[in-house]
Amino acid sequence: MIKTGSQILHCSNPLNFDTYKGCSHGCEYCFAKRGNDITKIKNGGGWISFKNWINGERNEFTKWCSQDLPIHIGGLSDPYQPIERTEIRTRKVLEYIKKTKSNYPLIISTKGTEILKRDLKLISKMNIAIQISMISPEFDKIEPNAPKYNERLNSLYEISKNCKRLLIRIQPYVLESKNHIISFLQDYKNKGVHGIIIEGMKWRSMKDGLVKSGADCCYPREILINDFTEIKKECHRVGLRFYCAENRLRDMSDSLNCCGVDGINGFIEQTYNITHHLFGQKILDKNMCNIGSAAPFAVVEQTGPFYKGIELMSFKECIDLCCKDYNYLNVLLQKK
């Protein structure tokens, strides 16, 4: 189904839809593996919910939104992993949109570039931005079943010519990959890439040199600032845009829309979030003031009492409270 997850707090493009559940790439760092067995690939489900959204209907978790916001395909499961060769669920989604509302904005994230290329003729006729996840050749050894880095690199030019915008997704960034990343920036530009999206690695347990940020263990802010400043400078030197998806450093980004789709015709941004409260201009959707529009914020604290507490709140109220303090909404509802 169309969902938002915790991105609702910060993201300009919070809507996600996965055509599959699970992933066969076997990436050792994958956050979707936390507490889940993702090796058994299944149908992503929610097909009726997806079609309803495209046709203008809203459900309990999406009634805060009156507009056709971009849908991000590939949040928890790669839409172009090998199973797509036989199941073609991602292609069916594209075909339905092409037939129903061909200019609907989509963001596709994938490592499966060779499989993706089969759909380029269709994609070229639609309003689609593509993010290719690739960090460094050194990551090949911890992404055992994904296409190799050089395979993805060699596919970029053809993909860039058949989508609205092509971006390189460097998530997760690790300190050891900085020089590799910088060395490939000119090649990315030559192959038609618009910019890079970067976010630091998150660990579940504390290690030497890390700090706590929310539920994650991360690199210290100062270290990332130094590395990202250097990478950003090199991006600008070769003519690439720099998008920072690190929540602590969103103001380093060339745009607060860190998916890199700023300025594309038809890609509406959801700006009533914490990031835009802090660093930019916020625009309120008319539906966000309605009582009962706060259901997406159940991700803050996934318990029955908390969910019951937000039933009588609006989307706007929840964002405003979270902007005061990340934990303020939770504390307030516990007191009720």
Residue 310, pLDDT score: 83
What is the pLDDT, as a whole number, of residue 86?
96
Give the list of residues 6+ apart from residue 92 with CB closer than 8 angstroms, or none.
none
**What is d(CA 16, CA 135) in angstroms, rounded to the nearest whole number?**
23
How many CB atoms sit inside 10 A of residue 112's CB? 27
- pLDDT tens digit sequence for 120-155: 999 999 999 999 999 999 999 999 999 999 999 999
Q: Say what the pLDDT of residue 297 is.
A: 86
CA distances from 184 to 4, 12, 203, 302 (A): 32, 28, 26, 41
State the residue for tokens 């979707």.
32
Do the beta carbons of residue 187 and residue 147 sit within 8 Å? no
Taking a C-beta distance cutoff of 8 angstroms, is the pair 2, 16 a contact?
A: yes
* Residues 166, 261: Cα–Cα separation, whole Å: 9
Cβ atoms within 10 Å of 37's Cβ, excluding its own: 7
Residues forming a β-bridge with 244: 198
* CB 149, CB 134: distance < 8 Å: yes
Q: What is the dihedral of CA 262, 264, 266, 270, to 10 degrees?
A: 0
Task: Return d(Cα 21, Cα 42) in angstroms, integer.
Answer: 5
In a 13 Å sphere around the CA of 237, the CA atoms on its Cβ side amount to 12
Per-residue confidence (pLDDT) for residue 329, from 0 to 100: 55
**Sign of the alpha-carbon torsion through 154, 156, 161, 163:** positive
CB 63 within 8 Å of CB 4: no
Measure the CA angle with vertex 192, ends 188 and 197; round to 5°.
Answer: 55
For the chain, which residues make up each domain, given as ranges? Answer: 5-163+172-186+255-279, 291-335
pLDDT given at position 6: 81
Q: 111 near 152, Cβ under 8 Å?
A: yes
169 - beta bridge partners? 133, 197
Ranges of residues in the chain whose predicted pLDDT is under 50: 331-336
Q: From CA 173, how far away is CA 177, in angstroms rounded?
A: 7
Alpha helix (H) ranges present in 168-303? 178-190, 221-238, 274-279
Give the per-residue pLDDT at 60. Answer: 87
The predicted pLDDT at position 249 comes to 94
- The sign one gets for the Cα dihedral 184, 186, 188, 193 is positive
Determine phi and psi for 17, rounding to 5 degrees.
Answer: -145, 130
